[in-house]
Structure 1
Amino acid sequence: MSSSSSVSVGTATRSVGFLLLDQFTLISLASAVEPLRMANQLSGRELYRWHTFSPGGEPVWASDGMPITPDASWNNPLVADTVIVCGGVGIQSVITREHITWLQALARQSRRLGAVCTGSWALAKAGLLDGYECSVHWEFLAAMQEAFPRVSMSASLFTLDRNRFTSSGGTAPMDMMLHLIGRDHGRELSAAISEMFVYERIRNEQDHQRVPLKHVLGTHQPKLQEIVALMEANLEEPIDLDKLAEYVDLSRRQLERLFQKYLHCTPSRYYLRLRLIRARQLLKQTSLSIIELAYVCGFVSTPHFSKCYREYFGVPPSDERSGAEMSQKPATLTTVQQPSTRPVTTLEQARNESTFASVRMIDRSDLAQSC
């Protein structure tokens, strides 16, 4: 962590509340909270406060059987300007009318609302994702598409859409929070947090969950699942569509109808998407050259690969790689004057850490006054 650059920051401390639903997944909560803690530690400032809530302040059981005692009930004045719903197992059965009413009241107050894991279901149930794009754990993608037709479901790891932000489960909330922190306080800080958590790469909204096709199609269409499996196993040397149809005893016309009906695209388009996603993974995770990437992902030439990549992802592969390298750039080691206000307990605990205040924060208001 050695960089001479610094990070601009506003003066306001953001307050984030986490609504814990019964059987929430603990890893998703931790993945969302820990980046906030580390942002405070590395900056040496109280950039974020966070609290946990339940309807009456009573303990909530996580899906792993651990009871968590929230900081307060949701009627407590601690309620934050940003509220994130933490869902988990059996989400449909744990949401009550009181949950929905409370979330709708927050929306009327123009609060920012988010969700992790299956918490998106609660926001959708309250009608707060109508007209928004939304991410959820892949197990619930199909169910939410059917239950909430006004919500635009995405297989992305997380989605930031205006004042709504939703994330799938596991460690994906960390990526979402790192992007929000980067938006608030700059890329250097989010990159430094990533380094502290030994997090190899900050994934973005274009990164998709690995959704098993059987969870999209259910137990139906085994031939379509077989064809997709063949595609995934043959990315370097793509199989001709006529051959694919022949392998599963279908005509090419029947094959095209299956893809249009269940995957909403042509077989060739789906195959191209698989190859481009694989290329993106290799681009960000290996040192293969663009020429090598084009070859191992089944493209006849580098210009053709670059053209397809840019059309699909919106950036050429060379820019994608340079952007990934920038996101991993180390952050500042300089120190700053300590804030005059009394730090919260987590900041007090962090003072003895060698990384405390290792990212220098520059107040934008000070810059404005000096101009």
Structure 2
Amino acid sequence: MFATQPFFVCGSPSHCQFRLRSFFEWTIASQDGDPVECAGFGLSVSSDFASAGQSVQAGKSPNMVIVCAGARVEKHTSPSLINVLRLCRRRGVPIAALGTATWLLAESGLLTDTACTIHWDKRAAFSETFGHLQVTDRLFVRDTHLVTCAGEFASFDLVIELISERLGRDTALAVCRHTTAGHWRPASDRQWTINAGETGICKPLAEVIRIMEEHIEDPLPAPRHCKMHRPLTASDRTAFRAVDFVVSYALLPAFET
């Protein structure tokens, strides 16, 4: 079973207008070539991983490989999938992982030298399992031949950026209008952002929390958070005192045994 939203959100924009259909053609493959369970129904496929690998070896490489997975992505890894992903990597075929599928690229050893992102629900487990990787909270991260995407609606942002690069910004904007999206978000946007106005906390504190989240595995001393961007201000000092209080209040009970 795999997540349906990233799959359909990624595929729909490329076919939402008649003039785009000649530019995008999809071939769907599964482990054994059988239909894949998807939100309670079966999705028919046209190939299996082994056959897809043979096509690549025969010089019939696709323009891009897009990998999808589900919540139990840890059980989706297979020798045939790893082989075809590594083969595509060696042949210079761009590979994009949507949502939890970033886990499969990591299992295949393809993310050693690049930053990556994954759906926030898997980020903690992913970072713990693959501690050597540089994991971010961005919507998507693009390298020369590798793309990792947070999935869900971030898949739309990714595919619209690809359409913009290949067919022009006007075409991408036309697709956005057709889907009533209005615009697409840049890769650098975070999956989840603290809204200072809605939460009632000040902007400096929201920024401190954002930076602390980026350094869970390698915590930074509080003053360094602001030095990275600007001189320490009175508002920053107030924010740090609040953070120190919250952290101390949360951790002290754990040591009172």
Q: TM-score range by the shorter chain?
A: 0.7 to 0.9
> What amino acid sits opposite 1:72 in the alignment?
S
Runs ≥4 residues deviating over 6 A: 257-261
Q: How does 1:187-266 map onto structure 2 within 5 Å?
A: 187-210=169-192, 233-235=200-202, 264-266=219-221
User: C-alpha offsets along residues 131-183 of structure 1, whole Å, 9 cap, x if unaligned?
Assistant: 11111100111222222234221100111111111111211111011111111
2:125 maps to 1:156: no
2:13 aligned residue (31, 35, 38): 35
2:149 maps to 1:174: no
Contact 1:138 1:211 in 2 (8 A): no
Aligned partner of residue 110 in structure 1, secondary structure: coil
**Counterpart in the other structure of 1:48:** 24
Instruction: Find the aligned partners of 1:126 and 1:236 in 2 and give their Cα distance.
Output: 40
Aligned partner of residue 12 in structure 2, secondary structure: helix
> What amino acid sits opposite 2:88 in the alignment?
L
> What amino acid sits opposite 1:68 in the alignment?
L
Q: How does 1:262-281 map onto structure 2 within 5 Å?
A: 264-267=219-222
Instruction: Find the aligned partners of 2:128 and 2:35 in 1 and give their Cα distance.
Output: 33
**Counterpart in the other structure of 2:3:** 25
**Counterpart in the other structure of 1:310:** none
> In 2 relative to 1, CA 233–125 (structure 1 residues): closer, same or farther, beyond 3 Å?
same
Aligned residues between the structures: 219
> Structure 1: 5+ residue runs without aligned partners?
1-22, 213-228, 242-256, 274-297, 300-371
Instruction: Find the aligned partners of 2:146 and 2:213 in 1 and give their Cα distance.
Output: 34
**Counterpart in the other structure of 1:130:** 112
Give the structure with higher Rg (CA). 1
Instruction: Find the aligned partners of 2:94 and 2:188 in 1 and give their Cα distance.
Output: 22
Aligned partner of residue 61 in structure 1, secondary structure: strand
Q: TM-score normalized by structure 1? A: 0.52
Aligned partner of residue 18 in structure 2, secondary structure: helix
Q: How does 1:54-69 map onto structure 2 within 5 Å?
A: 54-62=30-38, 64-69=39-44
> In 2 relative to 1, CA 200–266 (structure 1 residues): closer, same or farther, beyond 3 Å?
farther
2:96 aligned residue (103, 111, 114): 114
Contact 2:140 2:187 in 1 (8 A): yes
Instruction: Find the aligned partners of 1:81 and 1:165 in 2 and give their Cα distance.
Output: 13
**Counterpart in the other structure of 2:166:** 184
Contact 2:69 2:76 in 1 (8 A): no
> In 2 relative to 1, CA 235–182 (structure 1 residues): closer, same or farther, beyond 3 Å?
same
User: C-alpha offsets along residues 270-328 of structure 1, whole Å, 9 cap, x if unaligned?
Assistant: 6899xxxxxxxxxxxxxxxxxxxxxxxx89xxxxxxxxxxxxxxxxxxxxxxxxxxxxx
Instruction: Find the aligned partners of 1:135 and 1:121 in 2 and give their Cα distance.
Output: 10
User: C-alpha offsets along residues 318-370 of structure 1, whole Å, 9 cap, x if unaligned?
Assistant: xxxxxxxxxxxxxxxxxxxxxxxxxxxxxxxxxxxxxxxxxxxxxxxxxxxxx
Q: Report percent identity of matched pairs.
A: 23
